[in-house]
């Protein structure tokens, strides 16, 4: 009761301490939320040494999905997979000398071999076909250098997506074309899987054979050993040792000492 009375008497001090703690948490969250000890934003994802920070990820989400009704989980999942694929694909493509030249990139955006991304994003919602009028208008605007800042950001990021998608397709094709199964192997595998064989067998357990029916002589053993010498040959001489150990550990207890009369008689060394 005395303690409760003291707390009530100094309740203003308790309120000040709680308020100070809350203010400290708010200030810490405003100044250091998501920051490392060095004041830098940690990487959102790191793939084979290539890092993508949170600002870059948010900027890409803003560029691609401003005004979009796509749910947050779907678009962030797409962007995450894109950055992972980009890091892996670019490394392998550089090692193999694969690339997407400017002519091919323009064909993927405005030509006859449109990228799946272009086909999806610039499809007419009524017919499902690509809106060539819109694409030609964008190409003309690009050629004239009259792109708006928002469209310029969008198209620049989309080109990176198209390049990653195209390199992925090239790597997949390269691997698939490198795997070839000859016709004779296909036919052999098909025959092995379709041919059926029926047979009957009888299992006689070893323990069911009476010992009196089988006689093993020394010559039989010698013949067997001579035919299976490799199975019993060791390059290094080995020994099998069975032993038992007793651990003697110290204890705090002192065993009682008992005195017994010695039964050993004295021996006169001079008489020996």
Q: What pairs with residue 52 in β-bridges?
A: 45
pLDDT of 198 reads: 85
pLDDT of 9 reads: 59
Residue 163, number of CB atoms within 10 A of its CB: 20
pLDDT of 17 reads: 60
pLDDT of 191 reads: 87
Cα separation, 140 vs 134, in Å, equals: 10
Quickly tell me which residue has 């290094």 as its tokens: 236
pLDDT of 99 reads: 92
Residue 123, number of CB atoms within 10 A of its CB: 13
pLDDT of 215 reads: 85
Burial level of 83, CB count in 10 A (0-12/13-18/19+)? buried
Cα separation, 79 vs 69, in Å, equals: 16
pLDDT of 261 reads: 44
Per-residue pLDDT of the chain (272 residues; tens, 9 = 90+): 454 455 555 555 556 566 666 556 555 555 544 444 455 666 777 887 778 888 888 888 898 888 888 888 998 899 999 988 888 898 889 888 999 999 999 999 999 999 999 999 898 888 888 889 989 999 898 888 888 888 899 999 999 999 999 999 999 998 888 888 889 998 898 888 888 888 888 888 888 888 888 888 999 989 998 898 888 787 887 888 888 888 887 777 655 544 444 444 443 434 44
């Amino acid at each position: 009761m005395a303690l409760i009375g003291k707390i009530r008497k100094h309740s203003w001090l308790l309120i000040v301490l709680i308020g100070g703690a809350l203010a400290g948490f708010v200030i810490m969250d405003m100044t250091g939320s998501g920051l490392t000890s060095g004041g830098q934003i940690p990487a959102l994802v790191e793939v084979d040494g290539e890092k993508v920070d949170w600002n870059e990820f948010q900027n890409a989400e803003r560029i691609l999905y401003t005004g979009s009704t796509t749910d947050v989980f779907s678009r962030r999942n797409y962007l995450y997979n894109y950055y992972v694929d980009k890091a892996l694909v670019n490394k392998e493509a550089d090692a193999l000398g694969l690339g997407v030249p400017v002519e091919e990139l323009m064909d993927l955006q405005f030509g006859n071999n449109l990228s799946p991304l272009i086909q999806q994003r610039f499809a007419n919602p009524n017919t499902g076909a690509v809106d060539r009028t819109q694409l030609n208008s964008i190409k003309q605007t690009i050629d004239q250098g009259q792109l708006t800042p928002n469209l310029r950001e969008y198209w620049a990021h989309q080109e990176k997506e198209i390049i990653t998608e195209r390199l992925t397709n090239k790597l997949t094709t390269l691997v698939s074309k490198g795997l070839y199964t000859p016709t004779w192997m296909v036919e052999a595998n098909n025959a092995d899987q379709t041919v059926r064989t029926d047979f009957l067998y009888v299992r006689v357990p070893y323990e069911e054979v009476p010992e009196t029916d089988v006689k093993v002589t020394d010559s039989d053993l010698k013949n067997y050993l001579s035919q299976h010498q490799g199975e019993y040959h060791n390059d290094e001489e080995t020994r099998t040792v069975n032993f038992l150990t007793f651990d003697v550990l110290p204890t705090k207890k002192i065993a009682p000492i008992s005195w017994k009369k010695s039964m050993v008689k004295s021996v006169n060394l001079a008489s020996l």
